[in-house]
Amino acid sequence: MVLDNSYEPCDFVLFGTLGDLSRRKLLPSLYQLEKANLMHPDTTIVGVARQEMELDTYIEEVHANLVKFGEKNLCEETWERMKARLHYACVDMKDVGSYCVLDDHVNPNRTMVCYLATPPAIYGDICRGLHSCKIIDSSVRVVLEKPIGHDLESSKVINEQVAEYFDEKQIYRIDHYLGKETVLNLVSLRFANSIFATNWDHNCIDHVQISVAESVGIEGRWGYFDDAGQMRDMVQNHLLQILSLVAMEPPTTLDADSIRDEKLKVLKALRSINSFNINESTVRGQYTSGFVKGEEVPGYLEEEGANTQSKTETFIAIKAEIDNWRWAGVPFYLRTGKRMPTKVSEVVIYFKRQPHNLFGDSFKNLPPNKLVIRLQPDEGVEITVMNKVPGLTSSGSMDLQKSKLNLSFSEAFADERIPDAYEKLLLEVMLGNQALFVRRDEIEQAWTWVDSILEAWKQSSEPPEPYQAGTWGPVDSIGLLARENRSWYESKTGKKK
């Protein structure tokens, strides 16, 4: 990409610049944009935190973080350019009076991007603080990190607090999965290929599987995770966003609202899961100690800081149904968990079997065609097809074999570096394009669906099923598909389930 005339410089103000997300993801992503010459020469980066700090110390801090979490061997020329952009402002984000210091760092004649890498509980305080020093006008953009709320009600409160000062057109809600190259590729795969565009419905598709497995546990985040669980941490946002992109109708254009309107319709069409259908539609689990990649790991209840009575789920499998014309009768099976054998995210489309068998008794059960979209790692797309085995047979019958047409991005685009999701998203905010950010109504609709499941679990008083770390989740998750004569896709990168 090359910067064009429409790309304006901005003051990129990073609230929570000393926090984990900023250090591990945001500052390294800004560095990569710098390296790729995608930062406007006049753009500045203003780090904001509550610690008193000289600019030189902040610069040293950023440098150390880039080395630790970004590139070991920083490109000196890139770093010199990035360093020249850095400012630091000390603000107690809960103290309205402390925001005036920002006047010394931002230029009122330029676009200001406020990235709130702080706990969502203080988003309202930050907006109030910015308002108090008269810094907000219609050109200011605000970026909100997830999770926005804990349920529909608290999400509405946060959204309202921000909406008091910012119009929806100024608000960029992050779901970092929308910045992943392969998630974006769902749109091109579906709508740039007529072979898929015309076969993408209940006439041709039997069912869809979306799996997002992680081998890590909760990584020292007990306080946050135990309150959230896998449902709020992964399903409410990432899995429902992937599902929406897979299931949405073709948007009229690729502009932000066309895409978001279509995603919203999918979320609205999701059949409610409640106490009547909770047992047949969901399975939740909690990991016990085990081995992941040969290393012994503790169970969830033995993690540092754990409450040993916790019933929080670390694994979920859901049979989701979309009540609309396109998807009637096509289940979408979602599965996500911590401490699974490997890190792998995939969407697998199972097409319907052939209506009639031409190939004799040995091929009575021809396997269905499958489209496997590997989101991470080993990003790529694979289709399984049946082929004639070359050669002659005395009976004259045809021998068939299952083969794979495999497009691996690392081979096909060997010279291209796959950017981190945050690089893409930060660039889009600076360009002022909201297409990859989640609109308020989408977030609230997703909460409506998720809250109903959480409420049904609460009423059932059943604890999550234990599963050993290093496995693919509780046995019942296999049953969720097996009772419909289906099974989970066995990932190439993973072990047998």
Ligand X SMILES: O=C1O[C@H](COP(=O)(O)O)[C@@H](O)[C@H](O)[C@H]1O
Ligand Y SMILES: NC(=O)C1=CN([C@@H]2O[C@H](COP(=O)(O)OP(=O)(O)OC[C@H]3O[C@@H](n4cnc5c(N)ncnc54)[C@H](OP(=O)(O)O)[C@@H]3O)[C@@H](O)[C@H]2O)C=CC1
Partner touching 214 among ligand X, ligand Y, none, CB below 5 to 8 Å by kind: ligand X
Per-position x/- string for 299-338, each x denoting binding to ligand X as judged by CB under 6 A, each - no binding: ----------------------------------------
Structure tokens at 111: 């676009």
CB 267 within 8 A of CB 239: no
Q: Does the protein bind ligand Y through residue 117 (CB under 6 A)?
A: yes
For helices 421-431 and 27-35, angle between their N-to-C axes, nearest 10 degrees: 70
Beta strands in 55-131 (DSSP E): 86-90, 111-116
Residue 176 labelled as part of a binding site: yes
Please say whether the beta carbons of 16 and 50 come within 8 A: no
Give the range of 64-72, 88-96, 280-288, 393-401 binding ligand Y by CB under 6 A. Answer: 88-96
Q: Residue 96 interacts with ligand Y (CB under 6 A)?
A: no
Closer residue to ligand Y (CB): 115 or 350: 115
Give the Cα separation of 391 and 389 in Å (integer): 6
By CB under 6 A, the residues from 452 to 491 that bind ligand Y are: none
In this structure, the number of other CB atoms found within 10 A of the CB of residue 72 comes to 7
Contact 113, 430 (CB under 8 A): yes
Site residues (CB under 6 A) for ligand Y, limited to 126-145: 145
Q: Quote the least distance from Cβ 227 to ligand Y, whole Å.
A: 11
CA distance 14 to 115: 5
Q: Which residue, 42, 132, 63, 56, is CA-closest to 91?
A: 132
Distance CA 210, CA 335 (A): 6
- Pick from 8, 92, 201, 399: which binds ligand Y (CB under 6 A)? 92
119 touches ligand Y by CB under 6 A: yes
Q: In whole angstroms, what is the distance from residue 445 CA to residue 3 CA?
A: 36
Query: How many residues are there in the chain?
Result: 497
3-state secondary structure of 305: coil
How far is the C-alpha of 28 from the C-alpha of 22, rounded, in Å? 8
494, interface contact from ligand Y, ligand X, none, CB < 5-8 Å by kind? none
Q: Which of residues 137-196 bind ligand Y (CB under 6 A)?
A: 145-147
How many chain residues interact with ligand X (CB under 6 A)?
A: 2
> Which residues are tagged catalytic?
238
Examine residue 423 and tell whether it contacts ligand X (CB under 6 A): no
Annotated binding residue 146:
yes
Check the annotation: does 439 bind a ligand.
no
Contact partner at residue 63 from ligand X, ligand Y, none, CB < 5 to 8 Å by partner kind: none
Binding partner of 94, given ligand Y, ligand X, none, CB within 5-8 angstroms per partner class: ligand Y
Pick from 233, 313, 321, 382 the residue near ligand X by CB under 6 A.
233
HEC assignment per residue over 311-343? CCCCEEEEEECECCCCCCCCCEEEEEECCCCCC
Q: Is 118 in the site for ligand Y (CB under 6 A)?
A: yes
Phi, psi of 228 (to 5 degrees): -90, -55
Is 338 known to sit in a ligand binding site? yes
Q: State in angstroms the smallest separation of the CB of 218 from ligand X.
A: 7
Tell me whether residue 120 or residue 473 sits nearer to ligand Y (CB atom). 120
Of the candidate spans 15-23, 245-253, 302-310, 463-471, the one that interacts with ligand Y by CB under 6 A turns out to be: 15-23
Q: Are 147 and 232 in contact (CB under 8 A)?
A: yes
249 C-beta neighbours (distance < 10 Å), count: 14
Taking the least distance from each CB to ligand Y, the nearer of 98 and 408 is 98
| Binding-site partner at residue 428 among ligand X, ligand Y, none, CB < 5 to 8 Å by type | none
From 47-55, 203-211, 287-295, 453-461, span contacting ligand Y (CB under 6 A):
47-55
Going by C-alpha positions, the residue among 82, 4, 76, 78 that lies closest to residue 47 is 82
- How many C-beta atoms lie closer than 10 Å to residue 56's C-beta? 10
Q: Tokens 């932000």 appear where?
A: 256
Figure out which of the listed residues 28, 47, 70, 120 binds ligand Y, where binding follows CB under 6 A. Answer: 120
Helices (H), 293-437: 409-412, 421-431
233 is known to lie in a ligand binding site: yes
Least distance in angstroms from the C-beta of 84 to ligand Y = 24
Residue 233 interacts with, from ligand X, ligand Y, none (CB under 5-8 Å by kind):
ligand X
Residue 28 binds which of ligand X, ligand Y, none (CB < 5-8 A, kind-dependent): none
Please report whether residue 78 would count as binding ligand Y according to CB under 6 A: no
End-to-end CA distance of the chain: 41
Q: Which is nearer to ligand X, 47 or 229 (CB)?
A: 229
Q: Binding residue for ligand Y (CB under 6 A) from 94, 169, 293, 495? A: 94
- Tell me if the bond preceding 377 is cis, omega within 30° of 0: yes
Single out the residue of 34, 145, 214, 444 in contact with ligand X (rule: CB under 6 A).
214
Binding-site residues for NADP(+) sit at: 50, 146
Using CB under 6 A as the criterion, which residues of the chain lie in contact with ligand X when the complex forms?
214, 233
